Amino acid sequence: MPQTDADTLLQEVSAYLKPKDVAQIESALAFSRAAHEGQLRQSGEPYISHPIAVARILTPLHLDAQAITAALLHDVAEDTSISIDEIAEKFGAPVAELVDGLSKLDKLKFETLQDAQAENFRKMLMAMARDVRVILIKLADRLHNMRTLNSVSKAKSRRIAHETMDIYAPIANRLGLNTLYQELEDLSFKYLHPNRYAVLSKALKVARGNRREVVSKILESIRQRLADNHILAEVRGREKHLYGIYQKMQAKSLAFAQVLDIYGFRILVEDVPSCYVALGVLHGLYKPFPGKFKDYIAIPKANGYQSLHTAVFGPFGTPIEVQIRTHEMNKLAESGVASHWLYKSSEAQINELHQKTHQWLQSLLESLAQSGDSVEFLEHLKVDLFPDEVYVFSPKGKIYALPRGATAVDFAYSVHTDIGNRCVAAKVNAELVPLRSELRNGDRVEIVTAPLAHPNPAWLSYVVTSKARGEIRHALKTMHLDESAKLGERLLGQALNSLGFKLQDIPEQSWDRVLKESSAKSRQEIFADIGLGRRLNMVIARQLAKLNEAESARTEASNSGIITLLGTEGMAVQYAKCCRPIPGDPIIGVIRSGQGLIVHTHDCPSLRKGRNGSEEWIDVAWDRNIHKLFEVSIKLIVANQRGVLAKVAASIADAESNIENVHFANEGEYTELFFTLQVNNRLHLASVMRGLRRIPEVIRITRVKNIPA
């Protein structure tokens, strides 16, 4: 065991903890050492070296005795025979909860590595929502594993580096742990792209030497000018981290020699007014780049980060990036959410940061509750860890931070779930825009809602926030289940009618028996499963009617039940895209598991081609008074003359039809136009086509059916 590391740890905690807390950590150290006795890391070192290193990563943040104790014990429950209960008995329930939140779910069996990874994140983030120290310990654990990754196989090191780059580094950034975040990114870069890392690392060392004189000159110039203006300031040169330089090269397609601002500068002043005065002095010394100024003091980042950022032309035309902030802001920028333990001053700032962190964790828990599975939740988490943000305003001037690429729908859901679910239009800077419009910094956004509106599945193709994605999926699932339950109730009623029974006459005892036999929680669940094709209506009907096979065969022979389509079934009934049936077409229905009822025209080739024994075919018919718009495709061959498209569009509008989509193929003298229209029925379509035939330039018009599925 590396005794010196253990001694150093005790010295570090003694500097800020009380003697009784240090005694607890000493006890935890002995307990962990005994538990891991004889265990070795893959590097060959005694295993105890790892928990000690994790605890030492946390001591600069001045974490409390419970957290340091949990760091020393974080692998005990997972890798030894000692239980969480034993840890609780010896070190208290709070320490045991931290250790439990950090322990993997190794006792459960998962189908894939991705499922296991996702479920572990799910558990960790639930624990993190209760106590943020869980993630601080986990990040320290991951950092030490990354520092010692050269002792594992190449395939495993790449997998761990990918996971770190995708999840752990962005979480560290989201929590404002800047130093830890940058080291995690650099180490991930080292194992994901070893050759690029080596070349860039070598080039950076050479550049340090070459640019030392220029950096010194800039530092001295800034210090002197600030002093001349009576501004008390500390000026530091700061080197950009390796992965940050690589990202800049990738984003702007630059060679390393073209990245001139590998050095940045930081000006630390006493108070907020001095930040803006220092900015003015700096811009007087060096000319600023237009459009490169960012004020994160007035509008802080979501992780609480505050600073002024500017880029200026330095000596010899060298671009210089400068950050200006107070000493307090600098402390928060370096240690983020851990500032609570590290600094007892600036409580207002720290409380606001903790409130933002709590809100973020709550939004993660909401998406956790709504996710269908752990892998879907992991997707939500990755989406939510976007580092770049845009800041937009509500009509009342409230600021909202959203990921870059966020749309008006993302904004609506960030205001409130009900606003998102009922939004129908958006105004950006007082102008109506499509809901899919991307928002830009400074946009003023107003959402128009309607009481009966509901989410559109198409929104999922362009929203970027996990809250919006999760709420839309949740609403669509709820709508789908409700509509499927209504369809399932009709299908079950049809099946019971064919057996000589009525649904409303089935006694409670029969329902109780069927629910128990099928392990369903309610009738609604049975109905929804029938509507979605997960259960067969005839099987449930027989169970409810208590018929044996012979009896059901006799009664089924008289089955003449037909499902009538009312047009109000919503998502429970799908109209096949391959043949696009409309009222008036002869149709047939297919129940597919998980999809519900799909309606095809009776002569649809893809229906015959894709038929299999697991599908249930049912008779369906159009209701006489169906009120719904249906999509239909038509093809026109027109003379290639100016204004013909406008004439066609005007004729379609005159026939009270909507154009959903249009595309064309130009073949010289003639053009093929393909329209997807919305019509009420075949009579309406016939009226549209009659109007189009009157246009002299229209040579031929046909309805397009049997589109490949």
Q: Which position among 5, 21, 26, 78 bears the catalytic label?
A: 78
Give the SS3 label for residue 306.
Answer: coil
pLDDT averaged over every residue in the chain: 80
What confidence tens digit (pLDDT) does each residue in 105-124 have?
A: 444 444 556 666 666 666 66
DSSP 40: B
What pLDDT shows up at residue 142?
A: 92
Alpha-carbon distance of 295 to 324, in angstroms, equals 10
- The secondary structure element, H or E, covering residue 144 is helix 133-147
Give the SS3 label for residue 614.
Answer: coil
* Encoded tokens for 185: 């990114």
Q: Edge-to-edge strands of the sheet including 319-326?
A: 233-239, 263-269, 319-326, 308-313, 294-295
Alpha-carbon distance of 78 to 577, in angstroms, equals 52
Judged against a pLDDT cut of 90, whether residue 687 lies above it is answered with: yes
Amino acid at position 605, single letter: P
pLDDT category, 373, cuts 50, 70, 90? low
What pLDDT shows up at residue 402?
A: 84
Judged against a pLDDT cut of 90, whether residue 701 lies above it is answered with: yes
What pLDDT shows up at residue 189?
A: 92
* Encoded tokens for 536: 């067969």
Phi, psi of 686 (to 5 degrees): -60, -40
Burial 363-376 (b: 16+ CB within 10 A, else e): bbebbbebbeebeb
What confidence tens digit (pLDDT) does each residue in 631-666 have?
A: 899 999 998 888 888 899 899 989 989 888 888 877
What's the whole-number mean pLDDT along residues 7-33? 90
What pLDDT shows up at residue 505?
A: 79
What confidence tens digit (pLDDT) does each residue in 27-55 have?
A: 999 999 998 888 888 888 888 999 999 99
What pLDDT shows up at residue 123?
A: 66
Q: What CATH number has the domain spanning 3-191?
A: 1.10.3210.10
* Encoded tokens for 569: 């079934």
Residues 6+ apart with CB under 8 A from 293: 308, 309, 310, 311
CA distances in angstroms from 583 to 42, 282, 569, 597, 604, listed in the order given: 69, 72, 15, 16, 15
Amino acid at position 477, single letter: K
What confidence tens digit (pLDDT) does each residue in 200-223 have?
A: 888 887 776 666 777 788 889 999
* Encoded tokens for 430: 């007082």
As separate numbers, helices (DSSP H) first and strands (DSSP E) second, the chain gives 29, 20
Q: Which position among 5, 79, 379, 551 bears the catalytic label?
A: 79
Residues 6+ apart with CB under 8 A from 321: 261, 264, 265, 309, 310, 311
What pLDDT shows up at residue 1?
A: 43
| pLDDT more than 70, % of the chain | 81
Alpha-carbon distance of 268 to 265, in angstroms, equals 10
Given the structure tokens 């070598």, which residue do they identify?
Answer: 202
Residue 116: closest CA among 106, 129, 126: 106
What's the whole-number mean pLDDT along residues 485-505? 79
Q: Which of 57-71, 308-322, 692-706 is predicted with the least confidence, judged by mean pLDDT?
A: 308-322
Residue 121: closest CA among 463, 373, 474: 373
Question: If you write DSSP's letter for every residue of 544-565 in order, what string do you get?
Answer: HHT--HHHHHHHHTT----EEE
CA distances in angstroms from 466 to 185, 364, 371, 410, listed in the order given: 23, 8, 10, 9
660 is catalytic: no
What pLDDT shows up at residue 2?
A: 46
Judged against a pLDDT cut of 60, whether residue 294 lies above it is answered with: yes
What's the whole-number mean pLDDT along residues 344-351? 50
Alpha-carbon distance of 423 to 541, in angstroms, equals 41
What confidence tens digit (pLDDT) does each residue in 243-291 have?
A: 888 887 887 777 776 665 667 899 999 999 999 999 999 999 999 988 7
Amino acid at position 16, single letter: Y
What pLDDT shows up at residue 338?
A: 67
* Helical packing angle, 327-335 and 347-370, nearest 10°: 30
Give the SS3 label for residue 59.
Answer: helix
Cβ count near 191 (within 10 Å):
22
In the CATH scheme, what is the homologous superfamily, with its name and number, of domain 196-341? Beta Polymerase, domain 2 (3.30.460.10)
64 is catalytic: no
Judged against a pLDDT cut of 60, whether residue 340 lies above it is answered with: no
Residue intervals of the chain classified under CATH 3.30.70.260 are: 630-704
What pLDDT shows up at residue 553?
A: 43
Judged against a pLDDT cut of 80, whether residue 600 lies above it is answered with: yes
Instruction: Give pTM, 2 decimals.
Output: 0.60
What pLDDT shows up at residue 401?
A: 78
What's the whole-number mean pLDDT along residues 93-105? 80
pLDDT category, 709, cuts 50, 70, 90? very low
Judged against a pLDDT cut of 70, whether residue 497 lies above it is answered with: yes
What pLDDT shows up at residue 570?
A: 67
Alpha-carbon distance of 625 to 639, in angstroms, equals 39
Residue intervals of the chain classified under CATH 3.10.20.30 are: 388-464
Residue intervals of the chain classified under CATH 3.30.460.10 are: 196-341
Amino acid at position 88, single letter: A
Which architecture, in CATH terms, is 630-704? 2-Layer Sandwich (3.30)
Alpha-carbon distance of 474 to 371, in angstroms, equals 8
What confidence tens digit (pLDDT) does each residue in 539-582 have?
A: 787 778 775 444 444 444 444 457 777 776 666 678 888 888 99
Q: Which of 101-110, 133-142, 438-447 is predicted with the least confidence, judged by mean pLDDT?
A: 101-110
CA distances in angstroms from 590 to 155, 369, 538, 610, 681, listed in the order given: 46, 33, 15, 11, 21
**Please, how many CA atoms are within 13 Å of residue 433, restricted to the half-sphere of its CB?**
18
Amino acid at position 628, single letter: K
Judged against a pLDDT cut of 50, whether residue 698 lies above it is answered with: yes
Fold (CATH) for 388-464: Ubiquitin-like (UB roll) (3.10.20)
Most confident of 72-86, 134-148, 391-405: 134-148
What pLDDT shows up at residue 245?
A: 82
